[in-house]
Amino acid sequence: MSDIGAIRMQVMWNRLISVVEEQALTLLRTAFSTSVREAGDLSAGVFDPRGQMLAQAVTGTPGHVNTMAEAVLHFMHAIPRDQMFEGDTYVTNDPWLGTGHLHDITMVSPSFLNGELVAFFACTAHVVDVGGRGFGADGKSVYEEGIQIPIMKFAEKGKVNLDLVHILRANVREPNQVVGDFYSLAACNEVGHRRLVDMMKETGLASLDGLGDFIFSRTRDAMLERIEALPKGSWSNELVTDGYDAPVKLAATVSVRDDHVEVNFSGSDPMSRWGINCPIIYSKAYACYALKCVVAPDIPNNAASLAFFTVSSPINILNAVRPAPVALRHIFGHMVPDLVLGAFSKALPGKILAEGAGALWNIHISVRPVAGGSGRRAEVLMFNSGGMGARPELDGLSATAFPSGVHTMPIEATEHTGPIVIWRKELRPDSGGDGEFRGGLGQVIEIAATGGHEFDFSAMFDRVNHPAHGREGGKPGLAGVVKLDDGTKMRPKGWQHVPAGRRLILELPGGGGYGDPARRSVAARANDRSKGYITESDR
């Protein structure tokens, strides 16, 4: 290829990324659920006619993006090519074919140009409710966790399947929000399709084959160069988490070969009877993300880059099979990067950040009037983040969602969704692990129902009994705490009740420190004290 040809292809590659970014922003702007609109719990991408991901939007989470990369192939298997038409949109929330639990909706739409299939657009988003027990760990099987939508058509030739819409409305607590999000997802793919067609007509492309070959060949060459530079061998790591009613051990072995990297989860604990199991599609997504952070963070994420990573596991809590309950699959899925990076730290000492809070501290709140009272019922979902682990040359980021990457949800947006008040949301002093570089801080969040209301909440928390470890001599971060304002301790997982007049207090965990604390500079400690990150009595 000539230099001019390569430059043209690179420009079109950048243009393709802008197409999927506009696709994702459409979902952000039109979504009904705050988890999508405010937190960005979504993904968007474009795929070639063989189902290979060409490009993903920058906006979105690794758990959604990397599962979506595999999910499109399941859609293509379920819906034959001769049953795909212009104006179609397909949908599922199957945990094993989509993103790992029922609350995530995946939509795929074929894109046609002059009657020929040229691409697929796919997107995912977390909706506020899917019926069943609600978003929590208390289910004993996936059948209790909500409505299951097999891969099917949401729209055919532009006509929406109203039977599916009616079934949804009859099975969820917030029908307007949920159905609104379905239409938002469909619109997201439609915008991607229109922008792609505009681009192809403008540049004279009849197909994306040539551009796809350019993207994949450049990606493969760059990835192979990075993997060849890694030390070869196998390294293992174990990580103990809180679990539901007993600690859960996660285990991984990372093996670097000449031309690929393998992860195996043998040694992890068996599947749980509670809804904390993780389907392999989601465990794989976050394992690949961790590997990508180490091997090639600057190389675009697409089918060619993901092909260098293989993830396997016997049946266990990180490879749960149907009909295991999986509602809170994100908790251990978010722990997978710390697990994998812990193994990689033995291969690359001095290069890997310390453990962090890992799993989001999601909380689903079901608010209702007190018995005999009048008021408003609502389902409220909040995403909250603890501290990241310290990095080899920098402090950890505070109140930051690693590895999920979702945004902090503004309290004003949360309060708007139901009769609750967030009385306090601030950084938690002394929660970051000490070290040459300090771990990121967690948060303190105080929640109450408004007058005349009470609420139940689904706790989805970890690192309450097993805080984040430091690395290279760094100290652990502070463990999380769940309690009421009268001091009553609450459980880190499961549905629980907060009486009217009481406040729920969440103290989120901090990240581990990095390096010997004695090496931390005087100026850095003085800065920590001046900003209230640490107290005088603590250090």
Count Cα neighbours of 58 within 13 Å in the Cβ-side half-sphere.
10
> What letter would DSSP give residue 377?
-
pLDDT band at 539 (very low <50, low <70, confident <90, very high): very low
- Among all chains, which residue has been given the structure tokens 């180490």? 294
Tally Cβ neighbours within 10 Å of residue 388. Answer: 31
In this model, does residue 538 exceed pLDDT 70?
no
Q: Which pair of tokens denotes residue 143?
A: 């059948």
Which of 326, 303, 315 is closest to 268 using CA atoms? 315
Angle made by CA atoms 325, 343, 267, in degrees to the nearest 5: 45
pLDDT band at 537 (very low <50, low <70, confident <90, very high): low
Query: How far apart, in whole angstroms, are the C-alpha atoms of residue 294 and residue 360?
Result: 22
Contacts (Cβ under 8 Å, ≥6 apart) of 298: none
List CB contacts of 481: < 8 A, sequence separation 6 or more: 464, 489, 505, 506, 507
The pLDDT mean for the chain works out to 95
Kindly tell me if the per-residue pLDDT of 4 is higher than 90.
Answer: no
Say if residues 361 and 385 touch (Cβ distance below 8 Å).
yes
* Residues composing the chain: 539
Q: Which amino acid is at 123?
A: C
Q: What percent of the chain has pLDDT over 70?
A: 99
Residue 432 has pLDDT above 90, yes or no: yes
Cα separation of the two ends of the chain: 61
H helix runs in 31-174, sequence order: 34-37, 62-78, 162-171
Q: Residue 373 has what pLDDT?
A: 84
pLDDT at 523 over 80: yes
| Under 8 Å between Cβ of 192 and 57 | no
**Residue type at position 454:** E
Q: Where are the domains of the chain?
A: 3-219, 353-539
Give CA angle at 336 (364, 273), nearest 5°. Answer: 60
3 state SS of 119: strand
The answer for residues whose C-beta is within 8 angstroms of residue 427's C-beta and 6 or more apart is: 398, 399, 441, 442, 443, 444, 532, 533
Is the separation of the CB atoms in 310 and 283 below 8 Å? no
The per-residue pLDDT for range 24-56, each reduced to its tens digit, is 999 999 998 888 888 888 899 999 999 999 999
Cβ atoms 437, 503 nearer than 8 A: no
Is residue 513 pLDDT above 90, yes or no? yes
Rounded Cα gap, residues 10 and 326, in angstroms: 41
Of the pLDDT bands very low, low, confident and very high (cuts 50, 70, 90), residue 236 is very high
Burial of 234 from C-beta contacts in 10 A (0-12 / 13-18 / 19+): middle
Q: What is the average per-residue pLDDT within 353-377?
A: 93
pLDDT (mean) for 146-157: 98
In whole angstroms, give the CA distance from residue 141 to residue 134: 13
What is the per-residue pLDDT for 1? 66
Q: How many CB atoms lie within 10 A of CB 163?
A: 8
Q: Which residues pair with 116 in a beta bridge?
A: 113
DSSP letter string over 480-522?
PEEEETTS-B--SEEEEEE-TT--EEEEPPPPPPBS-GGGS-H
Cβ atoms of 474 and 433 within 8 Å: the answer is: yes
Which region, left, alpha or beta, applies to residue 515 given φ > 0 means left and ψ of -120 to 50 means alpha? left
* DSSP run (H or E) holding 123: strand 116-126
The model's pLDDT over 441-488, given as tens digits with 9 standing for 90+, comes to 999 999 999 999 999 999 999 999 999 999 999 999 999 999 999 999
Reply yes or no on whether the pLDDT at 338 is more than 50: yes
Segment 281-308, tens digit of pLDDT: 999 999 999 999 999 999 999 999 999 9
**Least confident among 109-113, 151-155, 401-405, 509-513:** 401-405
Number of Cα atoms under 13 Å in the Cβ half of residue 99: 28
Please answer whether residues 463 and 510 qualify as being in contact, where contact means their C-beta atoms are separated by less than 8 angstroms.
Answer: no
Average pLDDT over residues 399-425: 92
- Partnered with residue 241 across adjacent β-strands are 248
Q: Is 253 helix (H, G, I), strand (E, B) or coil?
A: strand
Give the number of other Cβ atoms within 10 Å of residue 113's Cβ. 18
